[in-house]
Amino acid sequence: MRLSECRAVLTGASGGIGLQLAEQLCAAGAHVLAISRQQGALAALLQRYPQQLRWQAADLRTGQGRQAVVAAAHEMGGVNLLLNAAGVNRFALLEQIDESGLDDLLSLNINATLQLTRVMLPLLRAQPHALVVNVGSIYGSIGYPGYAAYCASKFALRGFSEALRRELADTAVDVLYVAPRATRTSMNSAAATALNLALKVGMDDPADVARSVLSAVQRNLSELYLGWPEKLFVRLNGMLPGLIDRALRKQLPMIRRYSDANTKEPLK
């Protein structure tokens, strides 16, 4: 798919990866309908690309918000690219998350994405070729302590992407699942960033992630996993999960220590 020919609906457009996707799509000549609850950092992009970028305020957890997106997509003249980049993260042991926090994470990361994709499919199917891109995570393939809720949502998103790809195999709509590793965005808490630094976990720049995603769009890939050695860990977890179990068990004391920082003073 050529980026210059894209008419894209992009969720999570004011966030780290989403904002970079919006900017790079517009720079390539695409027309973008940017979806977020607040305009935030999109304001500068809207001034830079007034003919290509439009913002739609919407809470994707509600049917009203999703219908507002569909109506705006109709006004744009149709859509051939749906980029589901909206999501939230929470670094905490499961018992440290309250009921509303857990519901909110699952509602946005899973339910909102599935529901929006469902109502957007008629518009996508009307195109000669269209693509759904679901931005998941390496944690959609590796269950990592301290991220049980987040992993659950991303495992679900990976399964949804695989099933939807097969469901649409005889149509003109393709599905791409993208799995970034840790990325330097505001979605990471101070405790999560401190843990990554302590474990020497590589963290990517959002602009680099966006470039990789759009390269995969142009190459019509069905899956994209980012980061080394994370891609190796995904393979090992599939073939030798016990090996990963033992490796992560050694990290548990540090994970618990930094997770406790979510409810205490930030660790230095």
- Known catalytic residues? 150
The bridge status of strand 31-36 relative to strand 7-11 is parallel
Among 57, 220, 210, 63, residue whose Cα is nearest residue 132: 220
Distance CA 83, CA 254 (A): 35
**For residues 67-100, b (16+ Cβ closer than 10 Å) or e, as one string?**
ebbbebbeebeebbbbbbbbbbbbbbbeeebeee
Among 199, 245, 203, residue whose Cα is nearest residue 226: 203
- Helices and strands (H and E) in the chain: how many: 10, 7
Distance CA 160, CA 222 (A): 13
Residues 6+ apart with CB under 8 A from 227: 138, 180, 181, 182, 202, 204
Distance CA 166, CA 141 (A): 19
Residues 6+ apart with CB under 8 A from 4: 28, 29, 30
Termini Cα distance of the chain: 46
Distance CA 106, CA 95 (A): 16
Look up residue 63 and give its two tokens.
């049917």
